[in-house]
Amino acid sequence: MAAAFRKAQKSRQKNHQERQQLGFRKHLGLLEKKKDYKLRAEFCLKKQNYLSYYDARVLKKKKKSPFLFVIIIIIIKDGVHVIKQPKEELTEEQLKVMRTQDLKYVELKRVAEGKEISLTLTQRGAVPLKKKKINKIKFLHHFNKNVEQFDLATHLKTAPELVDRVYNRPTIETLRTETVKGATNPFQLQKLARQRKRQYSILKQRIEREKKMFVIEQKLQTRKDLMDKTHKVKVKKETVDSPAIYKFKFQRKR
């Protein structure tokens, strides 16, 4: 009885139709239905397949032609034909690392070098390797005073030998009341200077190594992304310091 009652109920229900174009959008034409979209999508895919097939055929013919290859690699310099040398894209070191190691290993080493650099800059008190900046300090005085007679050591209340220092510049009163802390022997000062120089050289090597690892990581990531079958176009060529840049076609995912 329930099935018969359900069938009778369906026979009296309203027939639902597809939505039509809205009134204020009638100037755009009829609303596209699913069957229209399927026809348009199939035609677009068919056209793309034709274009990719003929592009492959043209590329194959170009590769076989030695004449075109010679025209590309030969340039005229001072009236003489010279073979154009290709730009170096990979160094021997980069090639060796990319052949023997994977992306995770390079990323691990780069992160480790970055942590060591930050540790050196924060805990060990090293100054970042930047160009020396010239600081300027202005002292304001009254107009009735002679500027030529102005003494900087007297104004800062320190010894004339300590005026050129940017840091650790104690006053004369501090020098009289307190004892000097730290190394005072010339031999100890030279030893500290050598240690500081060695620390800066290690820091510079770590920064360069971290930059090299970052470039190798980017190149490995680019090669991994190229395994995708999505249509792509090369925007920028690969160099020693930067990877190749590709523009991928956007694909809508479900």
DSSP string computed for the chain: -HHHHHHHHHHTSPPP------GGGGGG-SPP-HHHHHHHHHHHHHHHHHHHHHHHHHHHHHHH-HHHHHHHHEEEETTEEEEPPPPP-S-HHHHHHHHH--HHHHHHHHHHHHHHHHHHHHTS-PPP--PPP---------TTS-STT--HHHHHTS-GGGTT-SS----HHHHHHSPPPS--SHHHHHHHHHHHHHHHHHHHHHHHHHHHHHHHHHHHHHHHHTTS-S-EEEEE---SSS--EEEEPP----
Q: How far is CA 123 from the centre of its chain?
A: 27
State the pairing for strand pair 232-236/74-77: unpaired
Q: State percent of the chain over pLDDT 70.
A: 82
In this prediction, residue 6 carries a pLDDT of 78
Fill in the amino acid letter for 7: K
Are the C-beta atoms of residues 135 and 141 closer than 8 Å to each other? no
Distance CA 153, CA 235 (A): 60
With cut-offs at 50, 70 and 90, classify the pLDDT of residue 72. Answer: low
Q: How far apart are CA 249 and CA 6, in angstroms?
A: 50
Residue type, 245: I
- What is the pLDDT at residue 128? 53
Cα radius of gyration rounded to whole Å, the chain = 37
Neighbour tally for 238: CB within 10 Å = 17
More confident position, 151 or 22: 22
Average pLDDT over residues 120-124: 75
Max Cα distance, the chain (Å): 118
pLDDT at 68 > cutoff 80: no
Average pLDDT over residues 189-203: 87
Mean pLDDT over 60-65 rounds to 67
Question: Confidence class of residue 173 from pLDDT cuts 50, 70 and 90?
Answer: confident
